[in-house]
């Protein structure tokens, strides 16, 4: 499978928090972004509701950290299942 590299900038504080949450989930930040990309494609857009919070005037993709963790775990399990299926079809590399 051919790969494509994305390069983007992210606020340092947010990036550090992404690393911390990813480590707590037992994955890398790269894997977290990869899971998001697979879920984004599978959903045909954002894999969670995007809404404007009128009080804070900012998007809130998850209602709670627990909701985010549930999403990441489910997406991770789905991604691993897909990788396993691909390996079964094409053989381990």
Domain boundaries, the chain: 13-90
The mean pLDDT value for 67-92 works out to 80
Global pTM value: 0.54
Query: 88, exposed or middle or buried, with CB in 10 Å at 0-12, 13-18, 19+?
Result: exposed
Q: Which residues contact 50 (CB under 8 A, 6 or more apart)?
A: 59, 61
Q: Tokens 């690393």 map to which residue?
A: 19
- The string of pLDDT tens digits covering residues 61-77 is 777 888 888 888 888 88
- The string of pLDDT tens digits covering residues 8-59 is 899 999 999 999 999 999 999 999 999 999 999 999 999 888 877 666 555 5
Here the tokens at position 29 are 């930040």
Distance, CA of 37 to CA of 66 (rounded, Å): 20
For residue 53, what pLDDT is reported?
A: 62
Per the model's pLDDT, the better-predicted residue between 18 and 78 turns out to be: 18
State the CB neighbour count (10 A cutoff) for residue 73: 14
Beta strands in 1-93 (DSSP E): 52-53, 58-59
């Amino acid at each position: 499978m051919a790969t494509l590299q994305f390069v983007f900038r992210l606020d340092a504080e947010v990036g550090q928090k992404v690393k911390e949450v990813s480590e707590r989930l037992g994955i890398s930040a790269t894997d977290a972004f990869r899971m998001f990309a697979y879920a984004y494609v599978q959903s045909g857009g954002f894999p969670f509701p995007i809404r404007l919070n009128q009080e804070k005037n900012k998007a809130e993709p998850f209602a709670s950290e627990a909701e985010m963790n549930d999403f990441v775990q489910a997406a991770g399990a789905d991604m691993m299942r897909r990788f396993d299926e691909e390996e079964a079809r094409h053989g381990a590399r």
